[in-house]
Amino acid sequence: MIKEKTRIQTLFENKGDSEKVMSLFISAGYPDLDSTVDLILGFEKNGADLIELGMPFSDPLADGPTIQYASNTAIKNGITMDKIFGMVREIRKSSEIPLILMGYINPILKYGVDRFCEQAEKNGVDGLIIPDAPVEESSIISKKAEQHNLNLIFLVAPNSSNERMQVVDQHSNGFVYCVSVTGVTGARQGDEVAKSVEKFIHRVKTNVTKNPKLVGFGIKSYEDAQIISKEVDGFIVGSALIDTIKKVYPEEGWKDNVFSFVRRLKYGKTESQKERSL
């Protein structure tokens, strides 16, 4: 049992019924070490409700080409676990946005599970997503995560059985991550995601009843997000955000262009135009 309510849990408790939570994923240290904190603070100002900060790893399991590129760039930039905690510490000087660390179990084991969880809590992390530590193998970190007040978030996918979804719901805290399509991360074309997600989300709603539900993988626009998340609590965008950064970095004003994309993701083109006209 988590000893104190985390920022993630508070976010969902305070959310209105019709509001959609927007969670953004970015690899720590991408596109450079100095920009991560500014980007996250800017994401918050432009509509992000929750941040998933990727812990780059050289041998990822679920990452598509875009996030692999970002992770490799961050590794070349010299990202380390201590630098990631330093970024979180800087963000906490001016923001209470819920922060999740997302990555793979090997770097955590190398750093030390006890030390990792202690530093995560000390610096202001709220939760963890570790795709290669599913429920059955999560005991390697679940007890320490609980001791250090870190929500553990597990994933369900279209090929998860109903029974599997129920087990994931029982072991998750904060929310359940609904992977909209099978395969690796990456923005999809056309209506691939929308076609895949309808039956899947119907099963999720039936079997995931304890936790809020966020849907991710393949969302690249406001329109995608509204269609795909209409029956759940919100949506997650990662690859489309990193693709946007990749297109504009390091041009002059590149961060403003990225923040404009974030604003469109949350509010749509019309709302963004209204905001600019104020």
Among the options 17, 34, 38, 52, which is catalytic? 52
| Pure H helices in the chain | 7-14, 36-45, 65-77, 81-91, 105-111, 113-123, 139-147, 162-171, 192-207, 222-228, 239-248, 254-277
Query: Which residues does the chain have with pLDDT short of 70?
Result: 1, 62, 182-196, 270-278
Neighbouring residues of 45: CB distance < 8 A, sequence distance ≥ 6: 259
> CB-based burial of residue 245 (10 Å sphere; 0-12 exposed, 13-18 middle, 19+ buried)?
buried
The predicted structure's pLDDT at residue 277: 46
The first and second tokens of residue 164, run together, are 């599997």
The predicted structure's pLDDT at residue 273: 55
The predicted structure's pLDDT at residue 118: 98
The predicted structure's pLDDT at residue 199: 86
- Long-range contacts of 60-65, Cβ-Cβ distance < 8 Å, separation of 24 or more: 60/104, 61/104, 61/131, 61/132, 62/131, 62/132, 62/184, 62/185, 63/184, 63/185, 64/183, 64/184, 64/185, 64/186, 64/239, 65/186
Q: Given CA atoms 9, 10, 11, 15 in this order, what sign does their dihedral have?
A: positive
234: helix, strand or coil = strand
**At 38, which amino acid appears?**
D
How far is Cα 149 from Cα 133, in angstroms, rounded to an integer? Answer: 18
The first and second tokens of residue 72, run together, are 């490799």
pLDDT tens sequence across 204-250? 999 999 999 999 988 999 998 999 999 999 999 999 999 999 999 99
Q: Chain-wide mean pLDDT for the chain? A: 92
Among the options 44, 63, 169, 233, which is catalytic? 63
Give first-to-last CA distance, the chain, whole Å: 46
How far is Cα 186 from Cα 220, in angstroms, rounded to an integer? Answer: 9
Strands 127-129 and 151-153: parallel
Is residue 271 part of the annotated active site? The answer reads no
Is residue 63 part of the annotated active site? The answer reads yes
The predicted structure's pLDDT at residue 54: 97
What are the C-alpha distances in Å from 22 to residues 78, 85, 89, 116? 29, 23, 22, 26
What's the number of CA atoms in the CB half-sphere (13 Å) around residue 264? 16
- CB contact at 8 A, 175 and 208: no
The predicted structure's pLDDT at residue 61: 73
The predicted structure's pLDDT at residue 180: 83
pLDDT tens sequence across 23-38? 999 999 999 999 999 9
